Structure 1
Amino acid sequence: MKSKTTIEHQKMSSNDITCGVITLSDSRKSKKVDLSGQYMAEEIEARYTLKSRSLIPDEKEDLINTIETMIDDDIDVILTTGGTGLDSRDITVETVESLFEKKLDGFGEMFRAKSYDEIGAAALLSRATAGIYKKTVIFSMPGSPNAVKTAFNIIIDEIPHFVHHVKK
């Protein structure tokens, strides 16, 4: 199913990748109860390098500051969980998309398609998104552990491929 070019690009990609995880939540106060952030951290540590993990409130300035700090720390990929829904406090999508220099529309489209297969029309409630900011790939996904697992099934193996292209 993969094209010859995709396979060649994957071979040129390095697994020496640093990642940062940001959980946005007004209700979770410790990393112990942050199941989605914990899942992401474990999956990243199994393949790449987890350089930073933050738990912050659903606040635009906190998110921007955390992203900027991670980029200043040479993190290649930032993964956020939470704040992608329709509640008035869900600010992740508007915040990260305002930073994006390029948007990766396919991630949100594919995430919602896979979610539809799993949960039906409720997948329409998700505003998962991804894009590029300052040569860093940012993936923003919902806060539920099942949604994070769905997203990771889509992106985890392709992370080196993304980074390869973004760093050119």
Structure 2
Amino acid sequence: MKKVAILTVSDSRTIDDDTSGKLIAEIMTNNGLSLSTRVVVNDDIVNIQAAYLQLEQANPDIIITNGGTGIAQRDVTIPAIRPLLTKIIPGFGEAFRQISFAEIGTRALASQALAGFNHRNQLTYCLPGSKNACQTALDKLILPEYDHLLFESSAQRKEVHHHAH
């Protein structure tokens, strides 16, 4: 069973009123993943990185962050996480902004939503903090594709992949 870890970035939320983190956990467990851990951290680059690296060490297959992906001064999730990823999946952010644009218009363009793999080949998604945005990303982009992405990345690592096609 695949394991998911959730990191909520917020100056105002606690683990109890972290509605987006709860929603992500619910959707993922309802879809057959197990929740390894859920953490809330404030909007601080070093704290975000420290929390992320701790989650990484717990060895989940997927790490999902939510919050701090806008362009405000205090939105620092992307500058915190991006350097910890060895491979970015550009299509994820592009598709997310496109889908969001259809839902909320030009405000979607300020979202820096991101996906990629870290040094341990764990699939990482950085989502906005809004419940709607998380729901959209999970339903339309994450659930349909995470399995294939994990398979592709592990096949590449084992170098068996070039014979498969």
TM-score over 0.5 for the pair: yes
Match of 2:65 in 1: 80
Partner of 2:53: 68
CA deviation digits over 1:46-98, x for unaligned, max 9? 12011010011011122111221122111111000000011111111111111
Map of 1:118 onto structure 2: 103
TM-score, structure 2 normalization: 0.88
SS state at 1:93 partner: helix
Find 2:27's aligned residue among 43, 49, 63.
Answer: 43
**Letter paired with 1:160:** D
Counterpart CA distance in 2 for 1:95 and 1:20 is: 17
TM-score (norm 1): 0.86
Gaps of 5+ in 1: 1-15
Tell me the CA shift for residue 162 of structure 1.
1.6
More relative contact order in 1 or in 2 (CA 8 Å, sep 6+)?
1
Separation (CA, whole Å) in 2 of partners of 1:84 and 1:96: 10
Match of 1:92 in 2: 77
CA distance in 2 between counterparts of 1:35 and 1:118 reads 20
- 1:141-156 equivalent positions in 2, closer than 5 A: 141-153=127-139, 154-156=141-143
Alpha-carbon distance in 2 for matches of 1:89, 1:39 = 23
Distance 1:104 1:17 in 2: 20
Q: Distance in 2 between matches of 1:129 and 1:101?
A: 13
Distance 2:101 2:42 in 1: 28
Return 5+ residue gaps in structure 2 as ranges. 156-165
Alpha carbons 1:20, 1:79 under 8 Å: kept: yes
**Partner in structure 1 of residue 158 of structure 2:** none
Contact conserved, 1:136 with 1:166, CA < 8 A, in 2? no
Question: Is 1:22–1:56's contact at 8 Å kept on the other side of the alignment?
Answer: yes
* SS class of match (1:101): strand
Cα RMSD, aligned residues only: 1.1
Runs of 4 or more consecutive aligned structure 1 residues displaced over 6 Å after TM superposition:
none
d(CA) in 1 for partners of 2:149, 2:33: 14
